[in-house]
Amino acid sequence: MVVAAADIGLLEVSTPDCVANDFDGEIVALNLSSGVYWSLRDLAAALWRDVTSGHNPLAIADRLAQINSELADESRLIIANLVNAGLLRPSSTSPVALEASETVARAEAGEIAFSVESYEDMKDLILADPVHDTEEHLGWPVVRNDNGVRA
Amino acid sequence: MIASALSGLARSETSRPSAHQLLDALGVFTARHAKRAHQVRVRVADLCIRLHMPSAVLADLYARRLGGAITNTGTDHLHFHLGEPSWAGSPDAAAFAYYQSLGPDFERLAGEAGLIGVVGRRDASNNPTEPCTLFNPRTGVGVQWVTALAHLPPWDAGSPFRLLIHWATAQRGMRMMHAGTLVSGRRAMLLVGQGGSGKSGTTLAGIASGLQTVGDDYVVVTADARPRVHRVHQLLKQDPAGIKRVLGPRELEEPSALNWQGKVEIDPELHFKGCMAESADVAALVLPRIAHADQTTFEPIRPQDLFAHAAASMWQQLPGAQKSGFVFATALTRRVPTWRMNLSSDPFEIGSAVRRFLDNGGP
């Protein structure tokens, strides 16, 4: 059943089907049943961290609407997609967020990019980032092609 | 002297070596070192590696533990150097001391130079945890710099050049994993799980029963449609009780000192001739469990559950390439059948059960 954004309350990671990790700010999440990888960066990664630490996504969207209505719409859409992809599910508990929303803080500071990509073949992710871990590391110019490695 | 430089050198911001100078130091060191070092070639995961070593003894030891020296002509894909910077005069003592003092920031500096690197940190006992290790992915040249060879960490000779092999294989879309292996014919079982779960004991039980292995510590796995596992090191590590359990009253031909983990390190070919395989198809991912059962049994386990139990051994343990390692490990658990193996207490029964499993394609 496809979940509409308006129906979503508190959320949690859909373990064990979903495995996710934070790589220096980028969230890489996978539904092991479907095999589809998701890469979340910028505000999308902040949104993941917020909702998996007890923030209500609807409350975040309401706050974002006060900054920019498009940001609010985008956050609702991303959350609905993550739930429908089996990465997040309604929380079985009632977690209480201890920190202020990172998404709202970054949006208030002027960020506007929700970067979301999905990959059906893990090679696409591996080849895009074969060795180095973080975006902030400069000078890692090696990208693998099908014939080997090129600089 | 490097030792005095290490003991409290504080460079001003303006005199600190830049990323460009680090790249230059790597180039000067490897050029000078290549002229003086003892060279030997080995093959790992179909890659030819030329080792540049500070002595003939170390060259022979590291080559043997990387599967033995090869003599065929052909292209060297990688050049790995182990040495003291003072021997080649680059980097100079002050710059090397600076690199060693950087800790996690050394990786950032290396990244700015287009390199990947880690520097040894001190553990609670003030022992170095890793040599200063640097790899240039564009040239395939890597170094392990040590202030003195005596400062090599105690595990280095047990798994030579593990970080450089890890980075070089990750660069090529492969993955070095901490896993045991058993092989029958062309089919391999990859044993994953936390330390103490029975990986090494199962490997030793298997080869004592006539199976082959490609290693019980670090192995390289490819991302092919049918993943393959390759030998990295030719050395098994087992605690003395495990050795006794498998070998019984039979004595090791060359009793070995215990390594830093309190384990015995043995060259499996010395005791089980022909037991080392170079590579094999990965037919199953197996999570062993010491069950002290009457018979060894296999039960299917969901990839999700195997991943949750084996994440550390499959991708978290080695520094660098963490994101690709996470993706690789998750993909492997989806691509290869996943099983739990409940171990009996009889090593030879375990070996027979594994052979049946591999030969039949399942339990």
Report the distance separating Cα B306 and Cα B236, nearest Å. Answer: 24
- The CA radius of gyration of chain A, in Å to the nearest whole number, is 16
- In this prediction the ipTM stands at 0.71
Q: Please, what sign has the CA dihedral across residues B258, B259, B261, B265?
A: negative
Q: Residue A104 in contact with residue A56, Cβ under 8 Å?
A: no
Angle between helices B93-101 and B19-36 (to 10 degrees): 120
Q: Which residues contact A86 (CB under 8 A, 6 or more apart)?
A: A14, A17, A18, A31, A33, A34
Report the distance separating Cα B239 and Cα B203, nearest Å. Answer: 13
Q: CB pairs below 8 Å between A and B: how many?
A: 106
Question: B234-256 pLDDT, tens per residue?
Answer: 988 777 777 777 776 555 555 56
0.90 cut: is pTM over it? Answer: no
**Per-residue pLDDT of chain B in tens (363 residues, 90 and over written 9):** 344 444 444 455 556 889 999 999 999 999 999 999 999 999 999 999 999 999 999 999 999 999 999 987 788 999 999 999 998 889 999 999 899 888 888 988 999 999 999 887 766 666 556 789 999 999 999 999 988 888 788 778 888 999 999 999 988 888 999 999 999 999 999 999 988 888 888 999 999 999 999 999 899 998 777 899 999 999 887 777 777 777 765 555 555 666 666 677 888 888 899 999 999 999 999 999 999 999 999 999 998 899 888 888 888 777 777 888 888 888 888 889 999 999 999 999 999 999 999 999 998
Question: B128-156 pLDDT, tens per residue?
Answer: 567 899 999 999 999 999 888 887 887 78
Structure tokens at B112: 């700015």
Strands (E), chain A: 11-13, 18-23, 26-31, 36-42, 88-90, 114-119, 143-145, 148-150
Structure tokens at B92: 């100079």
The closest CB to that of B112, out of A33, A139, A141, belongs to A139
Question: B51-62 pLDDT, tens per residue?
Answer: 999 999 999 999
β-pair type (B187-191, B180-184): antiparallel
3 state SS of A77: helix
Shortest Cα distance, chain A CAs vs residue B303, angstroms: 7
B156-195: b (≥16 Cβ within 10 Å) or e: bebbbbbbbbbbbbbbbbbbbbbbbbbbbeebbbbbbbee
A131:B114 CB<8 A: no
Q: Which residues of B touch A117 (CB under 8 A)?
A: none
Report the distance separating Cα B221 and Cα A83, nearest Å. Answer: 33
B321:A122 CB<8 A: no
Which chain A residue lies closest to B106 (C-alpha atoms)? Answer: A137
B323:A125 CB<8 A: yes
Report the distance separating Cα B79 and Cα B346, nearest Å. Answer: 44
Q: Is the pLDDT of residue A145 over 90?
A: no
| Amino acid, single-letter form, for residue B167 | W
Q: Which residues of A touch B114 (CB under 8 A)?
A: 139-141
Q: Which residues contact A7 (CB under 8 A, 6 or more apart)?
A: none
A130:B173 CB<8 A: yes
A32:B330 CB<8 A: yes
* Residue A5 CA to its chain's centroid (Å): 16
A131:B328 CB<8 A: no
Q: Which residues contact A72 (CB under 8 A, 6 or more apart)?
A: A61, A62, A64, A65
